[in-house]
């Protein structure tokens, strides 16, 4: 009975009663094939744009290596065909060839994998004949039960990619943020609300008739437009929630009547504020931690 060979690595299975006195040679060769299939690192020299990666029965061939280090001087993208097309294969690939390497098995219609120069890959071929498929095992990995669906381009952006586009930002677009050590995605509208509240809080217009108190709703600067109904009225700014360096803008929108601006701190009213006359003016106060330094700006 003649020898047969294993389906994927071409290891020789000696037929019953065959190779009397030669078993040692064949067995040692088989062990070399197994050793190469488990841990072998093969240097593959590419040229032109095609290469056949062959595994031959009973022979130490480059296709029998577990790790493929691609080199040589290919003239462009090099298509590497895994042969024969009926063997299951898994390869670790390190592409140092200077060109993209595209792996296929059979005629390539089942699916191919391209590994750019300078990159590494982990691939397997399913040995399905002429329509065999080569699959990228690093595409769609899962961590902790969650599949990674991001593209390499997206991951490179997170890693500090400098290729910035001009895509318009809409309210529903997601922005990635670090939430106490956990990366989360929230909408641009949420960020807009936060910045509006924490940079300048634009309050609704008020009509002043008698003393009106303007109270920041959070630790934020405040813009308050108001109209003086008659005579001279008082606007009081509460320092509640404010921190040093924030400011309050009192926008007197009318060109008649006048107002006085003062502030209150924990219920204590300070009268040394600012008086605005009968023109449309801005009173700007910078909070110093306990009170305000006010200045007047004429509106044009």
pLDDT digits (tens, 9 = 90+) for 35-64: 999 999 999 999 999 999 999 999 999 999
Residue 198 has pLDDT above 60, yes or no: yes
Return the percentage of the chain with pLDDT > 90, whole number: 49
Dist CA 132 CA 211 (whole Å)? 83
- pLDDT at position 197 over 70: no
pLDDT digits (tens, 9 = 90+) for 56-103: 999 999 999 999 999 999 999 999 999 999 999 999 999 999 999 999
pLDDT at 300: 54
Q: Answer with the residue of higher pLDDT: 89 or 229.
A: 89
Residue 213 φ/ψ, nearest 5 degrees: -105, 130
Residue 246's pLDDT is what? 85
Top-confidence residue, 264 or 101: 101
Does 64 or 263 have the greater pLDDT score?
64
- Beta bridge partners, 71, equal 45
Pairwise pLDDT comparison (186 vs 271), residue with the higher score = 186
CA dihedral defined by 199, 204, 205, 209, rounded to 10 degrees? -110
The pTM (predicted TM-score) of the whole model is 0.64
Residue 164 is encoded by which pair of tokens?
Answer: 């910035």
203-298 fold = Jelly Rolls (2.60.120)
Rounded to a whole number, what is the distance in angstroms from the first to the last CA of the chain? 106
pLDDT at 271 over 80: no
- Of the two residues 178 and 119, the one the predictor is more confident about is 119
Average pLDDT of the segment spanning 177-190: 90
Mean pLDDT, the chain, rounded, equals 90
Q: 87-144: per-residue pLDDT in tens?
A: 999 999 999 999 999 999 999 999 999 999 999 999 999 999 999 999 999 988 888 8
Span of 12-26, 99-113, 187-201 with lowest mean pLDDT: 187-201
Structure tokens that stand for 66 in this block: 């577990």
103-112, 177-186, 290-299: the lowest-pLDDT one: 290-299
The whole-angstrom distance between residue 243's C-alpha and the CA centroid of its chain comes to: 35
Q: Strand, coil or helix: what is 129?
A: helix
Q: Between the CA of residue 81 and those of 22, 66, 89, 130, 169, what are the distances in Å?
A: 34, 16, 12, 11, 45
Residue ranges per structural domain of the chain: 4-136, 171-200, 203-298
Mean pLDDT of 256-260: 89
SS3 169: coil
Q: Which residue has the higher pLDDT, 106 or 221?
A: 106
| pLDDT the model gives residue 128 | 97
Query: How many CB atoms lie under 10 A from the CB of residue 11?
Result: 20
């Amino acid at each position: 009975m003649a020898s047969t060979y294993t389906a994927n690595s071409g290891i020789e299975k000696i037929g019953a009663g065959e190779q009397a006195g030669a078993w040692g040679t064949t067995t040692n060769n088989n062990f070399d094939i197994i050793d190469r299939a488990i841990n072998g690192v093969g240097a593959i020299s590419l040229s032109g744009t095609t290469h056949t990666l062959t595994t031959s029965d009973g022979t130490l061939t480059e296709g029998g290596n577990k790790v493929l280090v691609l080199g040589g001087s290919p003239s462009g993208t090099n298509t590497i065909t895994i042969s024969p097309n009926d063997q299951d294969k898994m390869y670790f690939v390190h592409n140092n060839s200077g060109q993209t390497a595209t792996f296929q098995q059979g005629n390539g219609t089942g699916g191919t994998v391209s590994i750019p120069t300078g990159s590494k890959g982990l691939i397997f071929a399913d040995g399905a004949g002429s329509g065999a498929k080569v699959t990228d095992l690093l595409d769609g990995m899962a961590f902790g039960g969650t599949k990674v669906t991001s593209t390499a381009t997206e991951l490179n952006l997170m890693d500090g990619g400098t290729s910035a586009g001009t895509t318009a930002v809409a309210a529903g677009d997601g922005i990635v943020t670090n939430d106490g050590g956990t990366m989360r995605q929230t909408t641009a509208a949420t960020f807009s609300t936060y910045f509006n509240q924490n940079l300048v809080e634009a309050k609704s217009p008020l009509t002043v008739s008698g003393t009106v108190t303007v109270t920041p709703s959070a630790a934020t600067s405040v813009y308050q437009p108001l109209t003086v109904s008659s005579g001279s009225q008082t606007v009081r700014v509460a320092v509640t929630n404010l921190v040093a360096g924030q400011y309050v803008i009192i926008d007197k929108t009318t060109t008649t009547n006048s107002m006085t601006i003062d502030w209150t701190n924990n219920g204590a009213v300070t009268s040394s504020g600012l008086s605005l006359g009968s023109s449309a003016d801005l009173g700007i106060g910078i909070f110093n931690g306990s009170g305000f330094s006010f200045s007047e700006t004429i509106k044009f």
